[in-house]
Structure 1
Amino acid sequence: MTSGGDHFSEHAGARLRWRKEGGGPALVLLHGWALDLSSWNLLAPLLATRFTVLSFDRRGFGLSEGTPDIHRNVDDLRAVMDIAGVREATLVGMSQGARLALHFAMAHPARVRALVLDGAPEIEAESELPLALYRQRLESAGAPALRAMILTHPLMQLHSAAPAARATLVESLSHYRGLDLIHSVARATAPDLQQISVPTLVLNGALDSPERREAGKRIAAAIPGAARVELPNAGHLALLDDPVAYDEKLTGYVQQRAQT
């Protein structure tokens, strides 16, 4: 059993923050846009009772250095898994993290036992995020004002009254500097979902935006053999809205796959 704590490792010119806790089959948790690994703080302790849970701040997010880059993120994830001693794992990607999970599965299929894609965006678009407006806000008023603006976006609205949910969201956003808005980040080639060969669960909160729920349906239909579930009392931030139900669905899926 490993107790959680922050670690920092140098890779490809950047210092990356990662955390490992628990024991058992490995899960790798991949955070969403603007957030960091602390977004998993309510869910990770539940998962760590049955699994080894590895999370990290993607390059340029949270306390990790460097310029955000999906191409480097794939190699960063490989490096963090190597450093943490995780040979293969189920990847759990939340929102933009789901996109990273898909790209990693395409690049390193032997290291992926299964995928869990939570609140994934359309594969080739981020149309729900007003990135140009956010860039203007960052340039005119600075990062704190940008973070306050992001918290008003519909995807960032909580459906839980628990104080811990709000506190965790604010903490997870607190280090966002908008580096992906400042730097020109090349788009990655969209993965061919028909080529995903690992077991895949597509997860949405039933209160997530219609666009994300439709994206989830399309992604599940495109990946061979994929399953899809909705959490009834959760929105886009299902990991904060209902971590207990999330834990039950995720654990049930992983354990079911282990028996087949």
Structure 2
Amino acid sequence: MTAHVATALGLEAQNYARRWLKCGEIAVATLRDGTRIRYVRVGRGPNLVLTHTVRTQLDLFQRVIPLLSPHFTVYALDLPGFGWSDLRPDAPKDEPTLRAALKDFIATLGIERPILAGESIGATLSLSLAAEVGDAVERVFAFNTYDYLPGLERSNLLASIIIKSVRAPVVGPVFAALENRAITGGIMNGGFHDPRSLPSDLLDEYGRVGGRAGYSKAARTLLKALPSFVAARARYRAITAPVTLVWGDKDWSTLRDRAGVEAAVPAPDVITLERTGHFSALERSQTWADIILAATAAAKATAIR
């Protein structure tokens, strides 16, 4: 196991998480390239690594982690350029770069044979990393993979206008500078069947994070790199770990998008959640946890026989 000494975080990066994380560790892992990654670690049992969606951070899993931590050692991280991890606005945010960071995070903390569970780009990264490392991953749960275009633009009209503006050479920087609570909330509401599932105080936290110097530029870099997540689908055929694909019936993906993923992954289990949008970890947290618990329990029972 790799030796790692956790680094304490400043209060600003801990305050919100401590509202919902009553016990456990909130700390920083430093990757090989010097990038500092905020993460939480809580619970005991098999290792489970949670990876978040576009524009969010580990707090996306605030309703899921308390349900899973009695059964797993749960790790959740802010990917580079998200949440309270290092921004480095000019650094690449493409799928291979973020996948390498996720792999390095797991190695830095000495997390052995993790179960990977992710939402959106977190699901795509979990699948592509499993394809890369083979048996070093126990299992993958991929909720609403984001490996198609357009994606976020389907959220609502506001999202379509903002995301298209990002690609414009002059207008893009102007719109990106409008990173604020109203715009973020307006876009994210399109990712829920019931927008009331988005906690108001979490939206406040996204606003605080969005105000960090360089955050808008980092977000713009990611949005321009989304085609690399589409390309990642070609990697899925190399996955050897068991995979469960989960879709919200109101997710941004079309039936054709979903069929493409299901055909690319070797023999996945497929689940569709009713009355559920893209941010299913918030909207269907109990079901999210139940899916992971049921599949891992069934696998354990099979192994014992």
TM-score bucket of the superposed structures, by smaller chain: 0.7 to 0.9
Give me the whole-angstrom Cα distance separating, in 1, the residues matched to 2:192 and 2:104.
Answer: 33
Higher helix share: 2
Aligned residues: 256
CA distance, structure 1, for counterparts of residue 201 and residue 281 of structure 2: 13
1:133 and 2:165 correspond: yes
Deviations 1:37-91 (A, max 9, x none): 1111111111111111111111111111133243232222222223333111111
Q: 1:159 aligns with which of 194, 208, 211?
A: 194
Change (3 A) 1:80 1:108: same
7-16 vs 172-181, greater mean Cα deviation = 172-181
* 2:69 aligned with 1:48: yes
Q: How does 1:66-145 map to 2 (within 5 A)?
A: 66=88, 67=91, 68-121=93-146, 123-129=147-153, 130=160, 131-134=163-166, 139-140=173-174, 143=177, 145=179
Q: For 1:25 and 1:104, how far apart are their aligned partners in 2?
A: 18
Do the aligned partners of residues 85 and 192 (structure 1) sit closer, same or farther apart at CA in structure 2, a change above 3 Å counting? closer
| Other structure's SS at 1:233 match | coil
Shift of 1:208: 2.2
Does 2:290 match 1:251? no
Residue aligning to 1:203: 246
Contact 2:24 2:40 in 1 (8 A): yes
Contact 1:194 1:224 in 2 (8 A): yes
CA 1:128–1:77 in 2, change beyond 3 Å: closer, same or farther?
closer
| Structure 2 Cα separation of the partners of residues 213 and 120 of structure 1 | 13
Bigger CA drift: 2-11 or 47-56?
A: 2-11
Deviation at 1:192, TM superposition (A): 3.0
Counterpart Cα distance in 1 of 2:101 and 2:290: 29
Contact preservation (8 Å) 1:155, 1:208: no
> Percent of aligned pairs with the same residue?
21
What secondary structure does 2:199 align onto? helix
The amino acid of 1:205's aligned partner reads: G
Matched, 1:10 2:30: yes
Corresponding residue for residue 220 of structure 2: 181
Consecutive unaligned residues in structure 2, runs of 5 or more: 1-21, 154-159
**Cα distance in 1 for residues equivalent to 2:243 and 2:44:** 22
Question: How high is the TM-score relative to the length of structure 2?
Answer: 0.74
Q: 1:38 aligns with which of 52, 59, 63?
A: 59
Distance in 1 of aligned mates of 2:228 and 2:264: 21
Structure with greater strand share of residues: 1
Report deviation, 1:202: 0.5
- Cα gap change, 1:81/1:132 in structure 2, threshold over 3 Å: closer, same or farther? same
Deviation, 1:4, is: 2.4
Aligned to 2:40: 19
Deviations 1:107-165 (A, max 9, x none): 212321111111112x3534443433246676225545455324323643352645x73
Give secondary structure in 1 for the equivalent of 2:107: helix
Alpha-carbon distance between aligned partners in 1 of 2:118 and 2:96, rounded to the nearest angstrom: 16
In the other structure, the counterpart of 1:149 is 183
Q: Which residue of 1 aligns with 2:235?
A: 192
Query: How far apart in 1 are the matches of 2:74 and 2:280?
Result: 18
